[in-house]
Amino acid sequence: MANRWRFIPEESWDGPMNMALDVIAAETARIEGISTIRIYRWKPSSLSIGYSQQSSSVNWEYCIKQNIPVIRRKTGGGGIFHDYDGDISYSIIAPVSSFSTDISESYRQMLNPILSTFEQLGISVKFADSNNPGLYSPSCYLRKTNPAHDIMASGKKISGNAQRRSNGVVIQHGSLIYNYDIDHFPFLFSNFNIPPETIQKHMTSLCEQSKATRKDVILTLENSLLAWSSAEKGTWGSSELNQAKKIAKEVFCSTDWTRRL
């Protein structure tokens, strides 16, 4: 692992800024050798879609009508609705040399504090089996699970995670479901006709698995990440924030980027 780590406690940004901050943190890791761990919320609640996801899989009419921003990530995977209260997101950004050269093993290394968080909250979790069937591939939590980075509780998906490696830096970010709104699922995606009771057989939440409050979960996750990395609490530099705002506007707010496929 890298020698210099900073931890940025939970903060709220809009979707484009959240994704731009990951890009800037990668540049900081590449140029200055400072790795970043962050916990964050999406304000307003947003739908993020994967790097290679077809834009036709999004119900644009509904998202526009409901004022739900849609942001394309630079990592793969399916769409995730990041509810301001129901989603807990984290990122780990570090030089690739900090972890195993084997991608599956590097996932396991970076997911150790995530697994520890669930276990400290009394939730028994494990990595997904390779034979878990998918219900609907455009949705992260309803697609076929991957044993490298999908985390299950009671046989249901509770956390999805993704990686991107570029210019000697790895970005891993993921989502932990604290709670979810079953009513949104039929409308966020196109050609979606899966009944709520079927959805609930394939995904679960911290609320369903534990009596922990959201504040409890954040504190536990923070302590797990700090213990794992020996990071010091820090903040964004003014230059980082300025650059992130520029990237958010030019890339992640761009229709050319969001609807490029």
Residue 91 CA to residue 192 CA, distance in Å, equals 29
Question: Strand 46-49 and strand 156-166: pairing?
Answer: unpaired
Mean pLDDT, the chain, rounded, equals 95
Q: What mean pLDDT comes out for the span 42-70?
A: 97
Residue 44 CA to residue 126 CA, distance in Å, equals 31
Predicted TM-score (pTM) of this structure: 0.95
Which residue ranges make up each domain of the chain?
5-258
Superfamily (CATH) of domain 5-258:
Bira Bifunctional Protein; Domain 2 (3.30.930.10)
pLDDT above 70 (res 136): yes
Residue 229 CA to residue 231 CA, distance in Å, equals 5
192: pLDDT confidence band, cut at 50, 70 and 90? very high
Contact 30, 167 (CB under 8 A): yes
